[in-house]
Amino acid sequence: MDTYVPKEGQINYIDVSSQVSWDEYFMLEAMLASFKSKDPNTKVGCVFVDKHNHQVTMGYNGAIAGVDESKIPWGNDRSVSMEFQKYGYVMHAEANAISHSVKSLESTRVYVTLFPCNECAKLIASQRVSEIIYLSDKYRDTPEIRVSKKIFDLSGISYRQLKLKPDLIPRLSGYLSGMLDQV
Ligand SMILES: [Zn+2]
């Protein structure tokens, strides 16, 4: 009787690779968080992650915790009194995530779907976050975002844009649909 002698490299070790990098994974998660926002105009999501790639907290732009979101105005018309603008009530994704985190955010990195505004930049820098990874920087030409970048530069916080590969969303979509087919 032949005794099976596995050859080197054949002992149940196979070539494996993840379908998604950590950068892609957490940006997708931030995008999913933004999907939960009820803001009709701007939906933003974020995820704070530690050096071990463990999620620490997440958030999206919405009302203050415990407030019925159907009871606040969601309009963005700045010509009316502030009590009738969303700006009087809505908390940004980063502020929400920071306010309900039960752990320190020191040395975490944050994935955000939109470059943080200067108010959130103050909070992020105060938490001593180490890196910002963002998807969109569409307000880059505004004083608000220039202030944000100055705050990050002065605090030694790095920031970089993540460009998702064009095939990522179709691949994910196909994968999720495939899961449903197996139900
Ligand atoms: Zn903000």
Give the global pTM. 0.89
Three-class HEC string of 10-37 = CCCCCCCCCCCCHHHHHHHHHHHHHHCC
Q: What per-residue confidence (pLDDT) applies to 102? A: 96
Q: What per-residue confidence (pLDDT) applies to 182? A: 81
Q: What per-residue confidence (pLDDT) applies to 6? A: 67
* b/e burial code for range 131-159 (CB count within 10 A of at least 16 → b): ebbbbeeeeeeeeebeebbebbeebebeb
CA–centroid distance, 115 to ligand 1, in Å, is 8
Q: What per-residue confidence (pLDDT) applies to 72? A: 86
Check if the beta carbon of residue 124 is closer than 8 Å to that of residue 67. no
CA–centroid distance, 151 to ligand 1, in Å, is 13
Per-10-residue mean pLDDT for the chain, 183 residues long? 68 78 97 95 97 97 88 88 88 97 97 98 98 98 98 98 96 93 82
Active centre residues (catalytic): 94
CA–centroid distance, 120 to ligand 1, in Å, is 4
Q: What per-residue confidence (pLDDT) applies to 93? A: 98
